[in-house]
Amino acid sequence: MAVSVPFDEQYLEDLMEGAGIDALLATTKHNVQHLLGGYRFFFFAHADATGVSRYLPAVGIVRGKLDDSFYIGAGNEDWGTAGGAIWVSDIQNISWTSIDTARAAAEALAKRGLARATIGVEKSFIPADALDTLRELLPEATFVEVHPVLESLRGVKSERELELVRIASHGIIDSMQASFGLVQPGMTKHDIAEIFRLEQTKRGLFYEYALVTLGGGSMNRSPSSDVWRSGTSLSIDSGGMYEGYIGDLSRMAIDTEPTARMTDLLAQIEIVQQEARTAVAAGKRGGDIFVTALDTISKLPDGANMKFVAHGMGLITHEVPRLTSTGPVPYFGAHANDPLKSGMVLSIESWFEDHDSGFIKLEDTLIVTDDGWEAPGDSARGWNRTGTSL
């Protein structure tokens, strides 16, 4: 293999064995990227549709036999895989439709003696025509969900991945501070989001979205024609990416001195954000982040109105560890009782939706370490003053 395998081979084998999976077929761009050590075909980096179908890359891995792994790419993907860009030796850049990919995958699996095997697929993402084709060509195979296996494998990031998270996080905060220096009352939410997009792009980040909230009243965070008024709060919450890895942070700004109420609410949030960190370290129970934060919130003067959530993140915004079953994105908190592991990445966020002061929020990205945490982009935490670059 020209390039080293980028994940823990034994851990993947153990996960597949525990799930009863003989082979897996990864077809999402984030799992393909992870399994191939960061590779994502530039031509379809952000869009899938092409011709009469879609781009559907696939990584096939046989349990305990990494040398039997294969990759199926687009018909023009030699541009991306040339020169030993990935560790897989069997590369078939022949697909222009999702059915092409399924046919090539079925042939590759049958060739490896897996026509009657249990095969893990990403059921939420594999196109219906591709799964129909696999079932037609491999009628004696059993197709099961592989999402938990692949997500568990992604849960602990390598040092290379953590560096991408750091770059994303620092880039987002730098972009926010630059944007705060440029925005001014009278601008719309669309205007502010566009300024932020340009600042992220200048720093090499992929702009995914900006959740912008202006003052009190409406707590709708989507870009719109709503106009920012002087003396009211401005919240920007971003999920920008660097080479696919997310830094998820939120900061506050205003063009005047904040009111006493604004200052007090943000100070209460800061107390919770810092206290929650005391529960973060390798070996500590993941759910204790919530226990610590909620206990702190219960003692605050406005705690009854504060909201808090913590979640894992990486190549997607909510992934391992899943720490709660009652968060804003509904899923089972499967890892609340498990110990945190060094190299996991967390988002920790606290906020008020206050009719007078507005949407007041801090969100931080934390990397779990052996003795605690690292917080890339851990600046601009107070009330940032806008218009300083005008």
Residues 259-281: pLDDT tens digits?
999 999 999 999 999 999 999 99
According to DSSP H, which parts of 225-320 are helical?
Answer: 260-277, 288-298
Residues 20-36: pLDDT tens digits?
999 999 999 999 999 99
What does the pLDDT average to over 354-370? 97
Question: What pLDDT is attached to residue 216?
Answer: 86
CA atoms within 13 A on the CB side of 297: 20
pTM of the model: 0.94
Q: Which of 41-50, 119-128, 169-178 has the lowest mean pLDDT?
A: 41-50
- Binned at pLDDT 50, 70 and 90, residue 390 comes out as low
Mean pLDDT score of the chain, rounded to an integer? 96
* Token pair 């900061």: residue: 251
Question: What pLDDT is attached to residue 71?
Answer: 98
CA distance linking residue 97 with residue 90, whole number of Å:
19
Reference 313, options 192, 117, 186, 162; nearest CA is 162
Residues 130-159: pLDDT tens digits?
999 999 999 999 999 999 999 999 999 999
Residues 92-132: pLDDT tens digits?
999 999 999 999 999 999 999 999 999 999 999 999 999 99
pLDDT surpassing 80 at residue 202 = yes
- Binned at pLDDT 50, 70 and 90, residue 1 comes out as very low
CA distance linking residue 16 with residue 64, whole number of Å:
9
CA atoms within 13 A on the CB side of 285: 10
CA distance linking residue 151 with residue 304, whole number of Å:
34
Question: What pLDDT is attached to residue 161?
Answer: 96
Show Cβ contacts of residue 78 under 8 Å, excluding neighbours closer than 6 positions.
93
CA distances from residue 210 to 201, 222, 271, 287, 351 in whole angstroms, order as listed: 13, 8, 25, 29, 16
Q: For 171, phi and psi rounded to 5 degrees?
A: -65, -40
High-pLDDT (> 90) share of the chain, % = 94
